[in-house]
Amino acid sequence: DGGITQSPKYLFRKEGQNVTLSCEQNLNHDAMYWYRQDPGQGLRLIYYSQIVNDFQKGDIAEGYSVSREKKESFPLTVTSAQKNPTAFYLCASSMWGGARSGEQYFGPGTRLTVT
Partner 1 sequence: AQSVTQPDIHITVSEGASLELRCNYSYGATPYLFWYVQSPGQGLQLLLKYFSGDTLVQGIKGFEAEFKRSQSSFNLRKPSVHWSDAAEYFCAVGQAPGVVTGRRALTFGSGTRLQVQP
69 near partner 1, judged by CB under 8 A: no
> Is 102 a binder of partner 1 (CB under 8 A)?
yes
Q: Minimum distance between the CB of residue 96 and partner 1, rounded to whole angstroms?
A: 6
8 binds partner 1 (CB under 8 A): no
Q: Does 45 bind partner 1 (CB under 8 A)?
A: yes
In the 8-state DSSP scheme, what is residue 83?
S
User: Exposure string (b/e) for 19-54, b if CB count within 10 Å is 16 or more?
Assistant: bebebbbeeebbbbbbbbeeeeeeeebbbbbbeeee
With binding defined as CB under 8 A, does residue 42 bind partner 1? yes
* Closest CA relative to residue 76, chosen from 14, 16, 13, 32: 32
Q: List interacting residues with partner 1 (CB under 8 A).
A: 4, 6, 31, 33, 35, 40-43, 45, 48, 50, 56, 58, 88, 90, 92, 94, 96-109, 111
